[in-house]
Amino acid sequence: MASESTVRPDQQLDADALDFHMKPVPGKLGVAPTKPMATQRDLALAYSPGVAAPVRAIAADPETVYDYTSKGNMVAVVSNGTAILGLGNLGAAASKPVMEGKAVLFKRFADLDAVDIEVDYTDPDQFIECVRGFGNTFGGINLEDIKAPECFEIERRLREELDIPVFHDDQHGTAIIAAAGLINACDLTGKKMEDLKVVLCGAGAAGLSVLELIESLGVQSKNTTVVDIDGVVYKGRPGGHERLMKHAVETDKRTLAEAAKGADVLLGLSAAGVFTKDIVASLAPDPIIFAMANPTPEITPEEVAEVRSDVIMATGRSDYPNQVNNVLGFPYIFRGALDVRARTINEEMKIAAARALAALAREDVPDEVAKAYKVDRLQFGRDYIIPTPFDPRLIAWVPPFVAQAAIDTGVARRPIEHADSYKQVLARRLDPTAALQQRISASIRAEQKTIVFAEGEEPAVIRAAHAFQTQGLGKAILVARENVVAENMKELGIPAGSLDVCNARLSEHNSEYADYLYERLQRQGYLRRDVQRRVNNDRNVFSACMLKMGHADGMVTGVTRHSNVVMNDVELVLDPVAGSRTVGVTAAVTRGRTLIIGDVSVTEFPEAQALAEIAIATANAAKRLGLTPHVAFLSYSSFGNPPGERSTKIQHAVSLLDEQGVDFEYEGEMAADVALDPDHHQLYPFSRLTQPANVLIMPAVHSASIAVRLLKAAGGATVIGPMLVGLEKPVQIARLGASVSDIVNLAGIAAYDLNQPAVAAK
């Protein structure tokens, strides 16, 4: 057990991060084939002898490499580890987790495949020669975490020697996002780029690139002052590399405080606390401060507000408005560049990206984006000059600007023939799992509901509750004994008192819960003492009573008990929603398709009436998750062939829905391949489904469980759930021994409450 003096607040985060990177397999990346490899013919086409055909085609016309290989959707993330995050020169091998993470971001935000390559050369010439040798096998090169000033020379020479986009994100990513924010800040303050007096504090790769990009937008170099660790960069100052001294100015000012007097813009890419309140007070009216040091900015918005109220401010942090986050840039810049097979990423493409981001911030903001900021409505203004990184419109908005700039400047190998069609293709690239989870997270962050974690003494549950609360998803309550929780929190390195604990036996509501439960169960063979014992000792019963009496909004349990046992406990307290049925629903996302599957956990062999009710509950859950339901009742037969008892029950369920006049499409009975086939109308022209099914109603729990596990294990699907719907209060039951991430996700679903009326489907 760790002693109190050795426990660090981030101790558990470090342990979780190591565990995350190690299990279930080491690392964050894998390789999946895009073509089937199931038959001898598949292998013959993929390799010898069939592969000879594209080999000859590429030899005859090298440009066809984009047609016959993955080059056009592949980025190399390359580093030598000489400037890893804020950790310094720790070597190429140590940079690999960061580079894998960058590759994951490419996939998550822009559906680009990326491979991390760690080059064990610190000498620029050796590094350049190495990357030049393999570079053209990729569609683009993203340089990362290479120290200045070597990074400037490395990028310049690789851009000259390779015929593909080469982009050092540490420089240009920050520059593009900051430039977008500056465009909008000028619009709001009425300032003109050419008149701005700009002071840059922090003359590293990012800082100098920000300065150079805003100069391309109209800021005059004579009006800029650079300040580094040695003070103002002035003409004649000894030392300093060529890229830095290019920005030296004639001035007698030597300190940041002197340079900042009367400045319109103060850019910080340096260190925490560098900007003082006196410096802020000395700036021109309506000043623009971008304090972008991470994790702690040069000055906080709260500190600035103590001095003056006319400031437009941005930071690098997500917990303040106007976050300068590189993920707003590099995925979409490469997406646009690769889609037109660009030979480089030039200044015009960077400016196009900056202008695109600035324009998006001025557009009407979707509700889910506003909720992520915990406001009812988010509008372009001083606290919203830069889009949020999780704005789902980014994928279809930014790449077309970049692609068009590449076309206009002659660096594109192919045009975009139909702009609207291109935007639609881009929108379909958005990871549907991420979109679903984003919808849930944005909503619950705005609502801040209280979730009770019934098994509050379990270390995994304590960690999940702490993560749920610290991520701003809502308030967590642990049902547990205080001394046990305190000991476990100390062991886990979680600050004492950071979570509320409710001891069932000592609760002020204990008698109230027992009274309610006795009245409910007294005619079912329960004595008063039986009920009191359940309230005192059964945390699921106590937690469900908390929900029933309005003392919590949702509940998560199941980590230590089988789901059927948990359901029996919960159903002692809670009823199904009037006219509904309790159903287990799973979302499975595979190959760009989201499938909602029910019932996966509650009714073992549903009859016709139960099947109809399951369909209604599952369709409503799909709507709540943002989908338009197209419901298929699955069976081994399709429309009576071959016939059987289960098929008859499904047919009866369909007829029951016909009588009710429900507001969603449904059809059945159908085999799974028929339900998912967009061309099934050719065989069954009478089918009422206008699109392939996305809500699948299973004939029994065992078939649902088998299907979900097959999708996950063999089909590579991302599975969310099972999610419980249909109870009068939101309860989610985790699987036995669930991970911390699973518990946090289910807590979010409980807070989202799938029983609520659906949001607008899309």
Q: How far apart are CA 459 and CA 34, in angstroms?
A: 40
Question: Which range among 512-526, 566-580, 710-724 shows the weakest confidence by mean pLDDT?
Answer: 710-724
User: What amino acid is encoded at 577 in this protein?
Assistant: V
Q: In 10 A of CB 193, how many CB atoms?
A: 19
Query: What burial class does residue 757 get, using C-beta atoms within 10 Å of its C-beta: 0-12 exposed, 13-18 middle, 19+ buried?
Result: exposed
SS3 assignment, position 554: strand
Give CA angle at 118 (116, 121), nearest 5°: 155
Omega prior to 295 cis, within 30 of 0: yes
**Backbone torsions φ then ψ of 79, nearest 5 degrees:** -150, 160
The two three-digit tokens of residue 346, written as one number: 């030039």
Share of the chain above pLDDT 70, in %: 95
Q: How far apart are CA 140 and CA 416, in angstroms?
A: 19
Hey, what's the torsion of the CAs at 91, 93, 98, 99, to 10 degrees? 110
What pLDDT does residue 760 have?
A: 41
**Mind listing the pLDDT tens digit for each residue in 591-626?**
667 899 988 888 888 899 999 999 999 999 998 888
Task: Give the pLDDT band (50/70/90) at residue 11.
Answer: low
Catalytic residue among 47, 192, 277, 636: 47
Give CA angle at 605 (600, 607), nearest 5°: 115
Q: For tokens 């908390």, what's the residue?
A: 546
Task: Give the pLDDT band (50/70/90) at residue 718.
Answer: confident
Query: Above 70 in pLDDT, residue 422?
Result: yes
Query: Above 50 in pLDDT, residue 8?
Result: no
SS3 assignment, position 498: coil
Residue-wise DSSP of 11-27 = HHHHHHHHHHHHSSSSS
Question: Which position has the higher pLDDT, 331 or 43?
Answer: 331
SS3 assignment, position 590: strand
The answer to whether 305 touches 382, Cβ cutoff 8 Å, is: no
What pLDDT does residue 343 have?
A: 96
Residues sharing a CB contact under 8 Å with residue 86, sequence separation 6 or more, in sequence order: 294, 295
The answer to whether 696 touches 674, Cβ cutoff 8 Å, is: no
Give CA angle at 709 (757, 540), nearest 5°: 55
Query: Above 80 in pLDDT, residue 9?
Result: no
Mean pLDDT of 686-691: 91
Q: In 10 A of CB 36, how many CB atoms?
A: 11
Task: Give the pLDDT band (50/70/90) at residue 6.
Answer: very low
**Mind listing the pLDDT tens digit for each residue in 527-566?**
999 999 999 999 999 999 999 999 999 999 999 988 889 9
What pTM was estimated for this model as a whole? 0.71
DSSP secondary structure letter of residue 638: B
Q: How far apart are CA 44 and CA 228, in angstroms?
A: 61
Residue-wise DSSP of 378-447 = --SBTTBSS--TT-TTHHHHHHHHHHHHHHHTT--SS--S-HHHHHHHHHHTS-HHHHHHHHHHHHHHHH
**Backbone torsions φ then ψ of 670, nearest 5 degrees:** -145, 145
Catalytic residue among 71, 96, 102, 548: 102
The two three-digit tokens of residue 596, written as one number: 């909602």
The two three-digit tokens of residue 504, written as one number: 């069932």
Mean pLDDT of 682-688: 90
Element (H, E) at 651: helix 645-660
* 102 catalytic residue (yes or no): yes
Q: How far apart are CA 409 and CA 420, in angstroms?
A: 21
Task: Give the pLDDT band (50/70/90) at residue 341.
Answer: very high
What pLDDT does residue 140 have?
A: 97
The answer to whether 706 touches 723, Cβ cutoff 8 Å, is: no
Query: Above 90 in pLDDT, residue 243?
Result: no
**Mind listing the pLDDT tens digit for each residue in 452-482?**
999 999 999 999 999 899 888 999 999 999 9
